[in-house]
Chains A and B, each alone.
Chain A
Amino acid sequence: MREAVVIVLAVIGLGFSLSGALGILRMPDVYSRIQCSSKTITMGALPVLIALVVGTGPVSSYGSRALLVAVLLLVVNPASSHALARAAYKAGVPMWQGAITDEVRGLADSGPGSGSGEPGRHAPPASGEPGGQSPPASGEPGGQAPP
């Protein structure tokens, strides 16, 4: 009975992990890949860890470590994904060609840098200063993002 519960939970978690990895492989954009890496991988990790807790008991050394890893993943994974998305936007990584809107563009501290040509390059250092900088010339809000 307990083994059946473990197998079912592990299959659920592995399915979510597989779909997350496929999303990271197939998504067209770094931001979409960050979305897959954040939500789907965390959702895939949690049932697998719960399976280990069910299989070994919550007070055994394995089960307690599995609970600790689950709490760590819940706290740490969204924070690192947020930092990665923010850094990618500030470094000027272009969005997908079919992206409809860019809601962060007109804000004060959100310039992707003047040189957004080469992907993965650093923004010029002047664009990293918070405040005191006029927002870049924003097109119509909600318009098509220029390539």
Chain B
Amino acid sequence: MANVYLAVAIAEIAITVLLFVRLAIGPTISDRIVALNTMSTQAALAVLFFSAFAGRTIYLDVSLWLASFSYLGAIIWSRYLERGLL
């Protein structure tokens, strides 16, 4: 069962590689923010499954933090895009 968890974590990270391509070549800033937001979601899932694989509950807080505070990053970036720096 632990191998299944590790395989899922590695697969999520492998999916993130596609998003790195979009993060690199994205024509506008919004494309990069979309890719970054999705990458944080995938990273939260990967950390969750890695904690289930390794049997360490301390990593669960990292996953919760990633899942909840990527939202704040997207909100703040969109606010700057919308209204400028002031």
Contact = CB atoms under 8 A, between A and B. Distances in A.
Interface string B1-26: 10011011001100110110110000
Contacts of B31: 30, 33
A24 B82 contact: no
Interface string A96-139: 00000000000000000000000110110100100000000000
A88 B48 CA distance: 31
A122 B42 CA distance: 29
Contacts of A49: 45, 48
Given A80-B37, A125-B84, A30 B52 contact: no
Interface in B60-86: 60, 63-64, 67-68, 70-71, 74-75, 77-79, 81-84, 86
Interface residues of B, number: 49
A3 B45 contact: no
Interface in A10-28: 10, 14, 17-18, 20-22, 24-25
Given A76-B68, A88-B30, A41 B35 contact: no
Given A17-B42, A55-B5, A69-B64, A91 B81 contact: yes
Contacts of B57: 61-62
Interface residues of A, number: 51
Contacts of B18: 18, 21-22, 24-25
Nearest to A19: B15
Contacts of A73: 41, 67
6 contacts: A20-B38, A33-B22, A68-B64, A69-B64, A91-B81, A125-B83
Interface of B: 1, 4-5, 7-8, 11-12, 15-16, 18-19, 21-22, 27-31, 33-35, 37-38, 41-42, 44-45, 48-49, 51-52, 57, 60, 63-64, 67-68, 70-71, 74-75, 77-79, 81-84, 86
Given A20-B38, A128-B82, 18 more contacts: A3-B1, A3-B4, A14-B12, A25-B22, A33-B22, A34-B34, A41-B42, A45-B41, A55-B1, A61-B60, A62-B48, A76-B68, A80-B70, A80-B78, A88-B30, A91-B30, A93-B30, A119-B27
